[in-house]
Chains A and B, each alone.
Chain A
Amino acid sequence: MAVSGALLIGFLFLHMIGNLKIYFGASSFDSYAHWLRKIGEPILPYSGFLWIQRVVLLVAIGAHIWAATSLAIAARKARPVAYAHRPKVQGSYAARTMRWGGVIIALFVVYHLLDLTTRHLNPVADTNQAFGAVTADFAPGRWYVTLFYTLAVVMLGFHLRHGVWSAFQTLGWKFPRTVALAVSVLLCAGFLMVPLSVMFGIIK
């Protein structure tokens, strides 16, 4: 859970920094997107590094889901008779929504790939146009897309708020919860800035 989560968080940070390149203009953003495909050339083929990264991430996601599922099954087995009177758990909202929140995030990732990677759900089909795809996606007329992204990122923020702290706890380090909160707020802000900037016309 902790190790695969750490890999995924590492990716999120790089992804966020890459997204923020959009503030340097269309050509800067598009050439960054093109550069991602050229990493490692000529030893690696075009897009070679991206495919290696995709395989690693897929393995990490698989391990994360496998660990979560086995924990959920163990939990179900450990309490065969449920409580008749069970108030909401007293821990944080973040801790209590880890499992279903994770499912929602996984579904969002599928949508996100169909939208901005394969472009099946994006108005711009040309995969060489990264800037155009982002600005068309979050245009004011498609406010519902921005809303959905916002909800998904906030869900991710909750997931990370408990997840980051819990990962350190699992790996045996005492870790302040405030730092985990700061990490999730930072990632949320970084990811939300781009779609909101497009929607409110700051990026054109």
Chain B
Amino acid sequence: MKLHLRVWRQASGGVRGEMVAYEVDDVSPDMSFLEMLDVLNERLTLEGEEPIAFDHDCREGICGMCSLVINGTAHGPQKATTTCQLHMRSFNDGDTIDIEPWRARAFPVIKDLVVDRSAFDRIIQAGGFISAPTGSAPDAHATPVPKADADDAFEAATCIGCGACVAACPNGSGMLFTAAKITHLGLLPQGQPERDARVIDMLHAHDEAGFGGCTNTGECTQVCPKGIPLASIARLNRDYRDAVKRA
């Protein structure tokens, strides 16, 4: 396959960036999207050019590091799939592919396609934890959890914090991420002691970080590689409502 790429190049956070065109020949349909970029980067390095910086780590779809907006869609055209698990067979020979970083004030560009997602860390620091004593693992079934709650909590816990929800949201909101954490911790017995403070503090941290507000457009769930449902945002709103009433 032969591809025409247009890639966002930006030397560092403070300087202006632009879309730069590259031709990539000999792309195998079996390559992952990131392997295709590796091939291009090897060539750029040999030619003495600066390789394209992009985030990646496990390349197994579970770490949440990869983060590319491909032809305007976070993580590319395949549903419920991270960029690293997207393969070139999803594209056609001769395609033009635009590659951009996550775009959000809360996620400033560090270099090229790499953005600083520590705003998510600050949301977690504000309340995304429990205060249960650590130590050896508790006995199985020592704390009973209803099956339906366990399922919903686990579904929410699959959030890998990649930030695709923010990248896709027309409001630049991080509500799906925040809601996944609220759902995950708020449904389990271990998450109850801090439940009220958690939702208030995490939402405050979310707004402080410069994310926009949620208007329930649902763009986030469309691109979420883990399929976190929009209903989790309703759960966040309910928790917030109850927490404010009790406060």
Contacts from A to B (Cβ < 8 Å): 1, 70-71, 74-75, 77-87, 89-92, 95-96, 98, 162, 165-166, 168-175
Contacts and interface: CB of A to CB of B under 8 A. Distances in A.
A75 B213 contact: yes
Given A84-B19, A85-B100, A165-B216, 11 more contacts: A75-B212, A78-B104, A78-B173, A85-B69, A90-B219, A90-B222, A169-B216, A169-B237, A172-B240, A172-B241, A173-B234
Given A71-B171, A77-B105, A81-B103, A170 B212 contact: no
Contacts of A87: 71-73
Contact of A174 (B8, B215, B219, B234): B234
A39 B195 CA distance: 48
A78 B212 contact: yes
Contacts of B219: 89-91
A172 B172 CA distance: 21
Interface residues of B, number: 38
B84 interface: no
The 5 closest A-B pairs by CB, nearest first: A172-B238, A78-B172, A78-B212, A85-B98, A75-B171
A96 to B, nearest CB: 7
A81 B17 CA distance: 10
Nearest to A68: B215
A71 B239 CA distance: 21
Contact of B171 (A74, A162, A174): A74
A84 B216 contact: no
Contact of A84 (B73, B100, B106): B100
Interface in B215-246: 215-219, 222, 230-231, 233-241
B211 interface: yes
A1 B216 CA distance: 12
A9 to B, nearest CB: 16
Given A84-B98, A87-B72, A170-B216, A79 B240 contact: no
24 contacts: A71-B212, A71-B213, A71-B215, A74-B213, A79-B105, A79-B172, A82-B103, A83-B69, A87-B73, A89-B217, A90-B219, A90-B222, A92-B218, A95-B215, A95-B216, A95-B217, A95-B218, A96-B217, A168-B234, A169-B233, A171-B237, A172-B237, A173-B234, A173-B238
Contacts of A165: 216
Contacts of B216: 95, 162, 165-166, 169-170
B241 A171 contact: yes
B210 interface: yes
Contacts of B211: 78
A170 B234 CA distance: 6
Contact of A80 (B72, B105, B236): B105
B106 A78 contact: yes
Nearest to B215: A71
